[in-house]
């Protein structure tokens, strides 16, 4: 169920003209569930109980069952504003709508509770001119010029997602920010690291500062989480302890 902020979606219908593919119908059901749309009507011979349609309507089988099958002549009954999806632009009449203006253009109609139909054509043939003549707006999705045709389910997802996003009702995934290590914790780790590098002979005894300054800059040039710094400190301590133990054992071995 939509909240007050996106109740306008109740007035928005996905309308499919002569759909043929059950896989597409299943994917469209899932796309609608993802974006919060619930109204769909279609013409064609497909059954919402089709096994393939149900299989691809992941977590949205109940929504799939609610889709309304109607005759083609009744497909747009009760619709106040129709947006036809087509890569073709048969007329230069100012009714071609860019995707990034979709929400701005439809907002007032949806908020006045006018029914808006997003009309998609048959997978193989799209929308013919006679059908496009019923559309107040025509929308061509931006693609590369050499390949303008888009899969039906993909086209539906793009349009619904853009409406969802442009309306400002999209919610991102909350991400947690790790607790950052303080400068003092970092410098303590660097002291231990320098001790390790000096003990193992990594730093050139003739000019240790030049190499060390570059090495230290690697660790000072970014933020480290407390967890990362704990892992680094533990690693340095472990390697240093093992190295010192090996040195002690070697000193205790009798010389031949």
Place 211 in a pLDDT band, splitting at 50, 70 and 90: confident
SS3 call for 131? helix
pLDDT per residue as tens digits for the range 80-94: 999 999 998 888 888
CATH of the domain at 118: 3.40.1280.10
Buried b (16+ CB within 10 A) or exposed e, 46-80: bebebeebbebbeebbebbeebeeeeeeebbeebe
The answer on 70 and 26 residing in a single domain is: yes
The answer on 14 and 99 residing in a single domain is: yes
The answer on 225 and 133 residing in a single domain is: no
| DSSP annotation of 206 | T
- Is residue 33, in this structure, part of any structural domain at all? yes
Lowest mean pLDDT among 8-12, 22-26, 66-70, 197-201: 197-201
Q: What length does the chain have?
A: 256
Instruction: Report pLDDT for 191.
Output: 93
The fraction of the chain above a pLDDT of 90, given in percent, is: 71
Q: Is the pLDDT of residue 4 over 90?
A: no
The answer on 146 and 42 residing in a single domain is: yes
Instruction: Report pLDDT for 173.
Output: 52
- Is residue 178, in this structure, part of any structural domain at all? no
State the average pLDDT over residues 111-137: 94
Q: For residues 103, 104, 106 and 111, what is the CA-based torsion angle, rounded to 10 degrees?
A: 100
The answer on 146 and 121 residing in a single domain is: yes
Range of the domain at 212: 183-252
Q: Is the pLDDT of residue 195 over 70?
A: yes
**115, 139, 166: which is the final residue of a domain?**
166
**116, 132, 166: which is the final residue of a domain?**
166
pLDDT per residue as tens digits for the range 170-192: 555 555 778 999 999 999 999 99
Positive or negative torsion for Cα 123, 128, 132, 134: negative
Residue 185's nearest CA partner among 218, 221, 232, 217 is 232
Q: Are strands 137-139 and 81-85 parallel, antiparallel or unpaired?
A: parallel
- Is residue 119, in this structure, part of any structural domain at all? yes
Lowest mean pLDDT among 5-14, 33-42, 57-66, 151-160: 5-14
Instruction: Report pLDDT for 251.
Output: 82
Give start and end residues of each alpha helix (H) in the chain: 22-35, 51-56, 61-66, 102-111, 129-132, 152-166, 183-199, 208-220, 226-252
The answer on 140 and 32 residing in a single domain is: yes
The answer on 104 and 138 residing in a single domain is: yes
- Is residue 160, in this structure, part of any structural domain at all? yes
- Is residue 188, in this structure, part of any structural domain at all? yes
Place 68 in a pLDDT band, splitting at 50, 70 and 90: very high
| Mean pLDDT of the residues in the chain | 90
Q: Is the pLDDT of residue 203 over 90?
A: no
The answer on 134 and 54 residing in a single domain is: yes
Place 5 in a pLDDT band, splitting at 50, 70 and 90: low
Cα 12 to Cα 237: distance, rounded to the nearest angstrom: 62
Do residues 102 and 158 lie in contact, with contact meaning Cβ atoms separated by under 8 Å?
Answer: no
The domain tally of the chain equals: 2
The answer on 125 and 55 residing in a single domain is: yes
Residue 140's nearest CA partner among 152, 128, 148, 151 is 148
Instruction: Report pLDDT for 123.
Output: 93
**166, 200, 220: which is the final residue of a domain?**
166
The answer on 193 and 136 residing in a single domain is: no
- What are the structure tokens assigned to 182, written together? 């303080």
Q: Is the pLDDT of residue 55 over 90?
A: yes
The answer on 199 and 148 residing in a single domain is: no
Cα→Cα distances 9→17, 32, 96, 105, Å? 20, 11, 22, 15
Instruction: Report pLDDT for 41.
Output: 97
Place 146 in a pLDDT band, splitting at 50, 70 and 90: confident
**Residue holding tokens 């309308």?**
15
Strand order in the sheet with 39-42: 68-69, 39-42, 12-16, 116-120, 81-85, 137-139, 96-97
The answer on 67 and 113 residing in a single domain is: yes
């Amino acid at each position: 169920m939509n909240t007050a902020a996106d109740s306008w979606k109740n007035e928005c219908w996905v309308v499919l003209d002569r759909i043929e593919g059950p896989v597409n119908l299943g994917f469209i059901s899932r796309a609608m569930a993802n974006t919060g749309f619930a109204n769909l009507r279609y013409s064609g011979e497909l059954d919402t109980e089709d096994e393939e349609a149900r299989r691809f309507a992941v977590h949205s089988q109940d929504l799939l069952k609610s889709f309304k099958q109607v005759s083609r002549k009744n497909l747009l009954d009760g619709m106040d504003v129709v947006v036809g999806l087509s890569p073709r632009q048969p007329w230069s009449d100012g009714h071609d709508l860019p995707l990034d203006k979709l929400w701005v253009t439809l907002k007032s109609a949806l908020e006045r509770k006018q029914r808006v139909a997003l009309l998609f054509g048959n997978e193989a043939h799209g929308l013919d001119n006679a059908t496009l003549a019923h559309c107040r707006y025509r929308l061509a999705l931006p693609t590369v010029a050499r390949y303008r045709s888009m899969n039906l389910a993909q086209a539906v997802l793009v349009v619904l997602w853009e409406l969802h996003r442009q309306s400002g009702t999209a919610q991102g995934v909350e991400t947690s920010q790790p607790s950052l290590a303080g400068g003092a914790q970092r410098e303590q780790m660097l002291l231990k690291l320098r001790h390790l590098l000096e003990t193992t002979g990594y730093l050139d005894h003739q000019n240790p500062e030049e190499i060390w300054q570059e090495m230290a800059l690697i660790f000072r040039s970014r933020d480290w989480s407390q967890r990362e710094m704990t892992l680094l400190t533990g690693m340095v301590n472990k390697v240093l302890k093992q190295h010192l133990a090996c040195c002690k054992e070697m000193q205790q071995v009798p010389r031949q």
